[in-house]
Structure formats: C-alpha cells, structure tokens
Structure 1
Amino acid sequence: MTGTVLSKAKPMKRPEDEPTGPGPTRSERISALAQQHGALVTLVVAVIAASLSFDTFLTGDNLENMAVSSAFLAVVALGMTFVIITGGIDLSVGSLFALGGVLAAWGSQYGTAVALLLPLAVCGLIGLVNGLLIARSRLAPFIVTLAAMLGARGILLSITDEGSKTYLVDKDSFFATLGQGKLLGVGAPVWITLGLFVAGAVVLRRSRFGQYVYAVGGNEDAAALMGAPVARTKVTVYTISGLCAGLAGALNAAWLVSGVTILGSGMELEAISAVVIGGTLLTGGFGFISGSLVGVLLLKVIQNVINQIGSLDSAYQQVVSGAFLALVVIAQTWLGRRRRVL
C-alpha cells in the first residue's frame, strides 16, 4: 500500500510581511514640508521683519489688538477648514457673522444664555439647511451658500430697520466680559478661540468623523464605497461652519458691546484666504486646523504692517492679501504636481 506524501504546509504570509515599496524621496519630503509648514515659516519671517522695522510692532497693546481681532476671523476660519477639506465652500459665513452679532446684542437684554444660544441656533440652522441642500439635493455649494449669504444679510437688515437700529450690550453684563475680559493678561476671545482650535484639531485628526471629512474630500465615490456617510458628513461640516460664524459674531458683539450691522462684508473671502494660505487645498482632502490659525495670523500681520507704514491706504491691504493668496495657490499647485511626478 503506497502512502500519500503530504507536503509540509507553508505559513500564510501576512500583509505586513510583504516588502514595502521605497519610502518618500528627499524631494517629496521637502515638497510636503513646504506645503504643510510654508505659512508658518513665512509668518516667522514677517514677524521678525516687522519687529525690526517698526518699534511699535512688538508692543503689548499692538500685539493684544492683533490677537483679539484675529480671534473672530480664526473662529470663522475654523469652520471653513472643515468645509474646504470636504471639497466644498461656504460664502455665507460673512453674513452669518454679522447676523450672529446683531442677534447676540439683541438677546443680551435677556441674559448671557440667550445672547449666546440665539445666534448659535439661527446661524447653525442656516448652516444645516445649506448642508441639506448640498448633500441631499446635490446642489452646487457655491450657489447654495451664495443664496444663504444674501438671505442672512436680508434677515439682518430686516431686524435692524435697514441698518438704522443698533442694539447695545450692557457693559456690566457677564456677556460683555466674554468679549472684553482678560485672563493672564490675554483677552477672553483669544482663550476661547484657542480652546476651539484644540477641540477642532482633536476632532479632525483623532475621530472617525475627521477621517470621513478627509475621505469625502479626497474622493467622494471611494468614500461612499468604503462605507463613509458622505451626505451626513457634508451636512455636519456646513452646520459646524454656521455655528462657528454665529459664535464669532456673538463674541465680536461682546467685544464691541454692540451689534454692528456693517461688519462681515468680505469676511468669507478672508476666511477662505486664511484656510488656503494655511495649507488646505481648495480641491479638498488635505488640510490642517493649525495651518488655518497660522494663515489668519499671517493675514493680520500683513494688515498691521500696512497700518504701521501709515502712508498706505487701507485698500492696499486687500491688494497685498489678494496677491499673497494668488502666490500661495500657485505654490500649492506646483508642489502638488511635483509630488505626483516624483
């Protein structure tokens, strides 16, 4: 009887046992670092140059004014970062910022809770509607948020009698303290903004929702195939954007102790500029929360330097900011193509 010879079974190879391809080249690493940290390097150079050129740049009052004024734009840019990473855009944040400020000033007469919750509820609801129309009805984000921008501005004019009525905040109220109070010599809005950015960074980098945000921005069809809730993610990011704009407006009203109706015009463009300058791609799928904060600070430093010069009109701020944004987008496009070629 001839016995069968059983061959010795070979152990199954695990994926991690397979040889991996070569790591990123030096050129790829340099391109990635430039894309991620270029704005920070530029900010450091700009601060050093400004401090050497102007004696008043590094004074306590000037730094405090820049920090507080940056805080409101930074909160708006925080929400915009989530939107742009998904490949969307939100043009309504400037109007929501102004609307949130007026609603907060009006609601402050009924207490701090109303002053904060009212703008959050209204602006968050508008953001939710934007998200539903974009995600569920598949309408273009540009058109939907443009309509929301006009609608929010119309609501603002309606409740302020075409801008002729200005609601004031009691200077002795706790709500005013949120805007004008200080902790360790730093304005309360700055601390609130830093806390929001830390929370936003944790959500974007460490949560499943953050993974969905990047996945939707990278390739929406692929994200849907791997089980990501594409529509829900889009609705959420536009809601976050609306909430951030409303909160920024409320904090600004507390700082100014009034709801100024003319604010927020063009703020959506500033927020988009800050996010893109900070390294987030307009095409989606790539971006950083910290980069958006650096982008805001860089814009404010440029504006402050122009004010320090004194002989230049404020219109030059827009010219310089626009030119700088164009250079950043060109650099991002070039770096992205270089990384793909390499």
Structure 2
Amino acid sequence: MAHTPLAVTMGDPAGVGPGITGAAWTKLRDQVEHAFFVIGALELYEGRVPVHPIVDPGEACEVFSNALPVLSLPGVPQVEPGKPDVGASTAILASIEQATELCLSSAVSGMVTNPINKALLYGAGFRHPGHTEFVAALCDAACETPSRPVMLLTGGGLRVALATIHVPLKDVPDLLDTIKLVELGKTVAEAMRQDFAIPAPCLAFTGLNPHAGEDGTIGREEIDIINPAAAILREQGIDMSDARSGDTVFAEALSGRFDAIIAMTHDQGLIPVKTLDMWGGVNTTLGLPIVRTSPDHGTGYDAAAAGTARPDSLIAAIRQARLIANNRKTNA
C-alpha cells in the first residue's frame, strides 16, 4: 500500500523532542509504512542520526530508510538541551502550524506533535489553553465545521477519554453537564468506529463519586448528570453504560467488556493508563478533521540534558497515527 508520510513537529528544541525523534527514526527506518519527516532545524538532529533535508513531504518516503527527513524550519535558535529559550517560541508554533496545514491539504496522512512547554509559550504571547486547543483553532480557521476536540489516552490495553482535563478537582462538579457529556459520548463512539475500526463500540462512563455515588448516598452527580447523558446516548443507538465505579470499570475494560471509557477527571483516567504503560502511552485528539497524536509526556528537560529520554511513547504515537490514518481511508 502506498502511503503519504506523517509529519512530526519539532516540539520544544530544548526538550526531549530532538532526541526521541532521532531514536524513533532509528527504530522505524526499515518500516516504510511508518515513514515520517520532522519539521525543524537540521542542526537539532545532526550528530544524532543521518539527516536528509527535504523541500516537499513527498520526498520523505524515498529517503526514510537511509536518513531522517527534515523539512527545514527557519528561525530556530541554537539551544542547549535542558535549557528552554523563549526565543524558540515562534519556531515551535510555526512547526505546529505547518504540520496542521499539511494535514488539511492532505499532503501528509497525519501529524505527531512533540512536547511543548505552554508556560514558555505564554511568555511569548500564546493565548490557547494548550496544544490541543491550538491545533483545533487552526483547523477551525480552515474548515466550515467546528472541531470537537477530545483527549483520548491509550496504553496498557485501555482507551480513556476525559470529560475534564486540567482543572481543580473542586471545580469538576460544576463543569459536568449532561448535554456536553452526550456530545462527548458521540465523538468517542464515532472515533471508535472510524479511527479504531470497532463497528459497534461499547462505552462506559465512570462515576464522579466513590462507588458511582451509591444510589445518591455519596453524591448525586451520577443520578442528576451522568446517567441522564448515558440514557440519551442509548436512545441514539450508542451502547453506553450508566456511570460505573472508577475502582472497577478499568478492570472491566481490560476484560473486554468496554472498548473505551470516559473518565470524569484527569487523574481518574490517567492513573490506570500510566500505571499499566508508563512509557508507551499515546495522547490522541479525537473530533478533528485531521489525524493528530502525541507522546503522553512533557518536554522532559532533565532527561534531555542527561540524554536519557526514552522514545517509546513517540514510537507508539507514530504507529497509532498511521493506524488511524489507514482506518479513516478504509472507512471513508
């Protein structure tokens, strides 16, 4: 099967991105189906692996087995691993913008984003809550249909989407909303069918409270918010469970009962994924018109400085991006 390549963004050049990108190429160089190129500065990768400058994504597959293809990005300052430089902010964002444009034009099959430091970018005027929201805004500016970005974490045999992400726990009950949970459930169900080739997915909501509220004796969010959303989804033909206890639902998913889980809080969803697969987790953004995956870790400045970063999560993200791209093409 002929493939268009994947685009990998530079990420923060002072972080682990350059190192794990080179290591990922070394691991995947003989697997042309996973061919990718990186949008960044040649100097970031020279000395790590053989590199080959390209001017067009179409060149990547031809050179991939012999060298890491690099689509050169101007304006990347020289940085020392482990020492972030706000002067790199413009180039960091430009790499993401270019990868998104290439996805939207179908010049690439999807994008894999290396980690960024939002605090660094905020200091340079970045105004989006995070990486995901920035990519979604870029897509929305080019498309008529608004994106519905949803964070899905995969690893250790689990697929876990999040109803809330980086918010204080005390704010979660006020942020949960039946209609929003319905929209979230629909997005996850569609992604299971289109992106993961599961024709009739079975989904589960976690409860917010211990024992899923225990019939309202430990909280009413399940009765008042979550279960009504599950009922609406079932009426629309989606196999969605009522809220299930967070201490057992992940084991149920591992046994095969559920294809994906929607967790109510960040840690509720990520703890089981990272416990089962600390190094190989993948962050996938559902609800976009493009394929976007990312390693499930941050910039890792200390590991970048020490040269000890592991590429497992980036390799898994590249493989997952290819899987989703192939499934979307088959199911189109």
TM-score with structure 1 length normalisation? 0.23
More helix by share: 1
Larger radius of gyration: 1
